[in-house]
Amino acid sequence: MNTADLRLPVDVPSTALFTDQYELTMLQAALRAGTAGRRSVFEVFTRRLPDGRRYGVVAGTGRVLDAVENFRFDAGVLGFLRERGVVDEATLQWLADYRFSGDVWGYPEGEVYFPGSPIMRVEGSFAECVLLETVILSILNHDSAIAAAASRMSSAAGDRPLIEMGARRTHELGAVAAARAAYVGGFSSTSDLAAGFRYNIPTVGTAAHAFTLLHDSERDAFRAQVDSLGRGTTLLVDTYDVAEAVRTAVEITGPELGAVRIDSGDLLLVAHRVRQQLDELGARDTKIVVTSDLDEYAIASLAAAPVDAYGVGTQLVTGSGHPTCSMVYKLVARAESADPNAPLTPVAKKSSGGKTSIGGRKWAARRLDAYGVAETEVVGTGPVPDELAGRQLLVQLVKGGEVVGREPLDAVRDRHAAARANLPLSATQLSRGEPVLPTEYVHERSGN
């Protein structure tokens, strides 16, 4: 399928082009040098959490599985690479047959992570693994950043539902992934229809200020909305005067009015006033939704206010100050020859300028304290100590090229809630601090 000629804004025929050019030039050079077939282990990890954050949230794993499955070089892509002279004919021929045939292990989606956690591990020939670097990092870095912000917001919101409404503040397809990641992090619904279509996330929405302004009066607008959407709808009450709008709203609907939405002003003050007014008007079951430039701190500050739901846009889709993670995809071990039985040698960058990492294929386990609460993230090479064998974090996601780790998004969302609940209480403090679990490295003495 090549959709380029339809001139859709979305017209990348497969995931294979979500790739930095150097992945292909490395492939070409390795094919020619005879090193492309060396068995290799790449790992995704981060050296640090965003400044002040207590934990990270793995999100995007399901999208990575889709991307790996659809990573193929069709005629249109190969023609582009040939025309541009990106790689030589031998490499193009190799790419034409490309199908990832290796293994992927990873933290299950929704799990929390810490500096050094081996979030994903990709094993196969160097050639087949190196090509996946860019798209895997794009997905995990974006989605995990959004999920981390969503998790903090949902923790601040407690039992009150959160609505994701940031589509207009980010790339139109980034928005779809953001809605998915927000759901993983604890949001209940999204305004984004594409996210409902693609991921079956509940969608919500009623009206904007434009609808009120379109009509000759606020009363006309409210009546038009209620006539069409019913008394259970949410009326936006801050186009002109909030108190007058609330009075008009309840006049039209009676006490069955579903909700009012407040999108500007001092939300704490206005919510209290509106609650009192609604109660006085007998609309005791009418809910209050607030939606103006909220982040986790604003949500927390409204904890004692009579607010029933929060709509969050900008700060959600921009990761609340941290729009990306710093996950990297590093070669940590490779065979010394293309012989499939050649042993693996740990490798790592070693220059003095920083960005060093730990070589060797890693396992990870979470040690619990006497009360069953997570205490330490243990990352090691070599054999797993017996006492941690049952607490290992990595699960198999792809086996011999076959995706085996796909799961429903609700299971992922539940996993995140459970993983967060198992962290020390300080995890949900919004204040800046150290990662809530220390990472302990268990090194094997020799190579693995």
Residue list 12-31, contact with its own copies (CB under 8 A)? 12, 14-15, 17-26, 28-30
Can residue 318 be called a binding residue for its own copies (CB under 8 A)? yes
- What part of residues 107-126 is at the interface with its own copies (CB under 8 A)? 126
DSSP 203: B
Among 78, 98, 160, 205, binds its own copies (CB under 8 A): 205
Segment contacting its own copies (CB under 8 A): 97-105, 107-115, 127-135, 246-254?
A: 127-135
For 326, the token pair is 């710093």
Under a CB-based contact definition with an 8 Å cutoff, are residues 103 and 123 in contact? yes
State CA 57 to chain mean position distance: 8
- What part of residues 265-304 is at the interface with its own copies (CB under 8 A)? 265-266, 270, 292
Residue of 198, 170, 160, 55 whose CA lies nearest to 115:
55
Q: How many residues in the shown chain lie near its own copies by CB under 8 A?
A: 123
Among 351, 390, 431, 445, binds its own copies (CB under 8 A): 351
- What part of residues 322-341 is at the interface with its own copies (CB under 8 A)? 323-324, 326, 329-331, 334, 336
Among 53, 54, 121, 142, binds its own copies (CB under 8 A): 142
- What part of residues 216-255 is at the interface with its own copies (CB under 8 A)? 216, 220, 223-225, 227-229, 238-242
| Cβ-based burial of 372 (10 A; exposed 0-12, middle 13-18, buried ≥19) | exposed
Under a CB-based contact definition with an 8 Å cutoff, are residues 61 and 397 in contact? yes
Can residue 192 be called a binding residue for its own copies (CB under 8 A)? yes
DSSP 392: B
**110-125 burial: b if 16+ Cβ within 10 Å, else e:** bbbbbbbbbbbbbbbb
Can residue 89 be called a binding residue for its own copies (CB under 8 A)? no
Can residue 7 be called a binding residue for its own copies (CB under 8 A)? yes
Among 97, 158, 341, 352, binds its own copies (CB under 8 A): 352
Neighbouring CB atoms inside 10 A of 347's CB total 17
Measure Cα distances from 33 to 28, 38, 130, 253 in Å: 9, 11, 16, 76
Among 3, 396, 426, 429, binds its own copies (CB under 8 A): 3
Measure Cα distances from 224 to 133, 214, 235, 238, 374 in Å: 52, 11, 11, 17, 54
Can residue 196 be called a binding residue for its own copies (CB under 8 A)? yes
Compare residues 24 and 153 and give the one whose CB is closer to its own copies: 24
**How would you list the strands of the sheet with 103-106, edge to edge?**
344-346, 328-335, 39-45, 120-125, 103-106, 395-399, 402-403
Measure Cα distances from 395 to 59, 108, 124, 330, 443 in Å: 15, 6, 17, 19, 21
Can residue 447 be called a binding residue for its own copies (CB under 8 A)? no
Among 53, 63, 361, 366, binds its own copies (CB under 8 A): 63
Segment contacting its own copies (CB under 8 A): 195-203, 297-305, 415-423, 429-437?
A: 195-203
Segment contacting its own copies (CB under 8 A): 139-147, 279-287, 409-417, 435-443?
A: 139-147
